[in-house]
């Protein structure tokens, strides 16, 4: 490889990834010389392709669906948050040639809600919808914000309960079904299900969100998601999609690789415009 440092995002599919655009904007803003591309990796070939990338001088990778577990296994060293998440979305080669694995998804979500939306999670009641890989990645950083409690609700209740058990040491957290939500109220509801993509919405009772509450969908798109449309019918203080989370997790990866923290606000604007 040439002198410019090379980075990439590995996924399947990866065609619609915004990461190359985000990292190009970060590089321009911070005056860094680097090359970042999206690469579709065939299923079952992650370790082989990543090994080649680093052997040829590649500096760092972002990892998206469905390879975050492969990346977790691939890393020689893991950050605490990657270990807790059981998944890696950022790999970086270190000076001694070993590979460091981190997970920046959760901190990306927390930064978007706390810094960009200006919404404080301390002592608030949080409901997380879904118990898959996306949710596992955010629970640690979420609990570190000191909420009064977190409830994970999932179509398959046992998955929510199991996931909650794994994070019990970090704070008050429980798992349940959607049926159990009937009379509860929350200050922050985060949609981490993949239901938005299929146009479905988990069944939610009305008045479940407090008046000064926040509804956050980890998904994003050109139009409001079904979850955001539901939240607009409630009297929420803020309703947001996950575009800010996407840019914030990328900024954290950029910081790990380059030691410089980019300004995310103009980049969120830039990517928002490219969606419409
Ligand atoms: P990801 O890595 O994106 O989280 P996943 O691990 O397949 O993907 O998890 C998808 C999540 O969305 C799960 O919590 C799933 O619920 P189940 O565990 O019951 O399968 C949830 N989900 C997907 N489609 C849904 C729907 N139509 N209604 C409610 N929940 C749905």
Residues 120-149 pLDDT 10s: 999 999 999 999 999 999 999 999 999 999
Protein residue whose Cα sits closest to atom 16 of ligand 1: 155
Question: Could you identify the atom of ligand 1 that is nearest to the CA of residue 66?
Answer: 2
Asked, as a colleague might, if the bond just before 157 is cis with ω within 30 of 0, I would say: no
249 is in an annotated binding site: yes
> Tokens at residue 261, please?
């923290």
Calpha distance 203→181 (Å, rounded):
9
**Contact between 124 and 149 (Cβ < 8 Å):** no
What residues form DSSP beta bridges with 101? Answer: 78, 91
Whether 158 lines ligand 1, by a CB cut-off of 6 Å, is no
Each residue's pLDDT tens digit, 193-218 = 988 677 788 889 989 999 999 999 99
Rg (CA), the chain: 19
Q: Give the DSSP letter string of 46-60.
A: HHHHHHHHHHTT--E
Q: Look at residue 53 in the predicted model and tell me its pLDDT.
A: 98
Protein residue whose Cα sits closest to atom 7 of ligand 1: 132
Question: Could you identify the atom of ligand 1 that is nearest to the CA of residue 155?
Answer: 19
Whether 133 lines ligand 1, by a CB cut-off of 6 Å, is yes
Entry pTM: 0.95
Calpha distance 51→48 (Å, rounded):
5
Please state, as a whole number, how many other Cβ atoms lie within 10 Å of the Cβ of residue 184: 14
Catalytic residue numbers read: 68
Percent share of the chain, pLDDT over 70: 99
Calpha distance 70→87 (Å, rounded):
8
Q: Look at residue 1 in the predicted model and tell me its pLDDT.
A: 53
Q: Look at residue 2 in the predicted model and tell me its pLDDT.
A: 57
**Contact between 176 and 150 (Cβ < 8 Å):** no
Protein residue whose Cα sits closest to atom 2 of ligand 1: 133
For residue 259, the CA-to-ligand 1 centroid distance in Å is 35
Whether 64 lines ligand 1, by a CB cut-off of 6 Å, is no
Q: Is 235 helix (H, G, I), strand (E, B) or coil?
A: coil
Calpha distance 28→161 (Å, rounded):
44
What residues form DSSP beta bridges with 125? Answer: 149
């Amino acid at each position: 490889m040439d002198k410019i440092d090379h980075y990439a995002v590995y996924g399947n599919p990866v065609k619609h990834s915004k990461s190359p655009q985000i990292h190009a904007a970060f590089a321009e803003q911070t005056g860094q010389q680097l090359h970042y591309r999206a690469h579709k990796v065939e299923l079952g070939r992650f370790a082989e392709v990543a090994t080649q990338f680093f052997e040829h001088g590649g500096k760092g990778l972002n990892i998206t669906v469905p390879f975050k577990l492969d990346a977790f296994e691939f890393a020689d060293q893991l950050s605490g948050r990657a270990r807790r998440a059981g998944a890696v979305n950022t790999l970086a080669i270190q000076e001694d040639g070993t590979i460091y694995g981190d997970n920046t998804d959760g901190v990306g979500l927390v930064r978007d809600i706390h810094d960009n939306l200006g919404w404080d999670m301390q002592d608030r009641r949080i409901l997380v919808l879904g118990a898959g890989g996306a949710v596992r990645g955010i629970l640690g950083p979420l609990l570190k914000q000191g909420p009064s409690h977190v409830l994970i609700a999932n179509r398959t209740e046992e998955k929510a309960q199991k996931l909650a058990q794994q994070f019990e040491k970090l704070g008050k957290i429980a798992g349940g079904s959607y049926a159990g939500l009937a009379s509860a109220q929350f200050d922050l509801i985060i949609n981490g299900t993949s239901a938005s993509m299929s146009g479905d919405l988990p069944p939610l009772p009305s008045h479940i969100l407090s008046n000064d509450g926040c509804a956050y969908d980890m998904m994003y798109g050109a139009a409001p998601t079904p979850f955001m449309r539901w939240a607009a019918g409630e009297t929420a203080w803020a309703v947001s999609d996950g575009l800010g989370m996407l840019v914030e997790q990328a900024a954290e990866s950029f910081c790990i690789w380059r030691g410089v923290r980019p300004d995310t606000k103009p980049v969120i604007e830039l990517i928002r415009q490219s969606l419409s």
